[in-house]
Amino acid sequence: MSRPNRWTGFALLACLALSILALGSSMSSGQGPAAKPAIWEYKSIWFSPTNKPPEDLNAEGKQGWELVSVAEADQFHHVIAVFKRAKP
């Protein structure tokens, strides 16, 4: 039988030490298991040029809705606002 090279032992010891360090750093990060992704609900509101959207948008925000997008909806300058919020 051949005797293992001393560098082989050193390499194995280094791999073991790095594995222990990697495992320890991932456990001590305090992050714990990955958080469950949020499930969103969406809604849209149409505004005409005569509406006062800021007041309406603020009311939606007070109910937990977050404005995601605003776009002109048609040739009459109606605007559509898209909102989302996390489902309870």
* C-alpha to C-alpha distance for 51 and 43, rounded to whole angstroms: 18
In this prediction the pTM is 0.55
24/54 Cα distance (integer angstroms): 51
Output DSSP code: residue 64: T
Mean pLDDT by 10 residues, the chain (88 residues): 53 56 54 80 88 78 92 86 91
Residue 78 is predicted with a pLDDT of 87
